[in-house]
Structure 1
Amino acid sequence: MTGNLDSTDWAILDELQRDGRIAFTELARRVNLSASATTERVRRLEAAGIVTGYRAEVDLERAGYVALAVVRLKYPGSRHEPLRRMLGERTEILECLRTTGDDCYVLKVAATSMAHLEEIVDELAEFGSTTTNLVFSRTLPFRGPSEPRERPRP
C-alpha cells in the first residue's frame, strides 16, 4: 500500500491529523464513505505503517516549558549510540533530525527556563559543536502531509 494512496485515503489522513479521536461514524460522514468502509481503510493505513500512532498535542507554555529552541549539532564522531542514548533520556528534546550539510543533527528542545536550556545545550555540547536559536513564535505549527499537488511546469 505504501505510496499508493488514493484521494479518499488522503482525506482520511487529513481528518485523522486534525482530530485523532474522531469517531469512525463522523469520519465516514466527512469522507463520504460508510462507517465499515472507513474503518477498514483506517485499519489498512495502520497495518501498512502509514498511520503510526495517535497522540495529544500539548501547549508547551501552559505545560511549563517557556523556552523553545532549535539546536544544531556538529557531531564529529562516528559512534552515534552515546548520543542516541542521551536523546532517549532527555525528554525535553522533542525532535531530532539527522541532516546533511555542516550540521549533523537538528534538535527541537523545550525548556522550563533559560538555565534549564543552558543545561541541555551544555550536555549536547559534550558531543560536538552546537548552535542554538530561540524560537519567538510558530509561524506555521506542525502539520502532517496532505495529498501531493502537482505544480504546473513553466
Structure 2
Amino acid sequence: MSSVSLDEVDRGILFALQEDARNTTIDEIAQQVEVSPSTVRNRIERLEDEGIIEGYYIKVDYEKAAFPLHVLFICSAATEERESLAREALESRGVVDVREMLTSKRNLFIEAVATDTQDLTDISNQLSGLGFDIESSEIITNHHTRPWEHFEYAEDTGG
C-alpha cells in the first residue's frame, strides 16, 4: 500500500469536506485554502482517484426515523477469515456498517438496525450462522464525529 503525500491545500480540502461535505461549496473551500475553485475541483478528483476520499456518507439518526434498535455487535472471527466474513456480514439484512480490527479477538464491529426485538434476534442468528462469535451487542444511542485537526488548513504566516 503506497501513501500519497498531501500538502496543506489537500489537507485543508479534506478538513472542509469532513466538517460538512454536503453544505460546503467548492467556492467556500477555495476561499478557505486560498486557491481557485478549479484547483479545488481538480484536487478533490485526484484525492478520489487516489482512494484517499473513499466516499461520501449520510449520517442517519435511526431513532428519529422510528428505528430505535441501532445495535453494535462486537464479534470475533478467525484472522484468516476476517475480511471475507466482514464482506459477507455487510450483505446481511439489517447490517449497515462493518469495521475490521487488527486485534485477534473482538476483531469485527458490526453495526445493524433492527425493526423490533425479533428482527434483532434474526440478525444475531444470521451473523452467528456466518461463523462469527458474538462477544457482545450494545444499543447505540448516539454517534459523534469531527474532522481530524491535522487536516485543518493553516495559513502561511511567512515565518
Coarse TM-score class (shorter-chain normalised): 0.7 to 0.9
CA RMSD of aligned residues (A): 2.8
Taking the aligned partners of 2:132 and 2:34, their CA distance within structure 1 comes to 52
Q: Secondary structure at the match of 1:51?
A: coil
Q: TM-score, normalised by structure 2?
A: 0.74
Structure 1 partner of 2:41: 39
Ranges in structure 1 where 5+ consecutive residues have no aligned partner: 150-154
Matches within 5 A, 1:74-93: 74-75=76-77, 81=84, 84-90=87-93, 92-93=94-95
| 8 Å CA contact 1:98, 1:106 repeated in 2 | yes
Task: Look up the SS of the partner of 1:122 in the other structure.
Answer: helix
Answer whether contact 1:69 1:135 (CA < 8 A) is retained. Answer: yes
- Establish whether residue 17 from structure 1 lines up as the match of residue 18 from structure 2: yes
User: When the two structures are aligned, how many residues end up with a matched partner?
Assistant: 147
Unaligned runs of 5+ in 2: 153-159
2:131 matches 1:130: no
Q: Identity over aligned residues, as a percent?
A: 24
TM-score (norm 1): 0.76
AA in 2 matched with 1:39:
R
Q: Which structure carries more relative contact order (alpha carbon 8 Å, separation 6+)?
A: 2
What residue identity is the alignment partner of 1:103?
A: R
**Residue 112 of structure 2 corresponds to residue 109 of structure 1:** yes
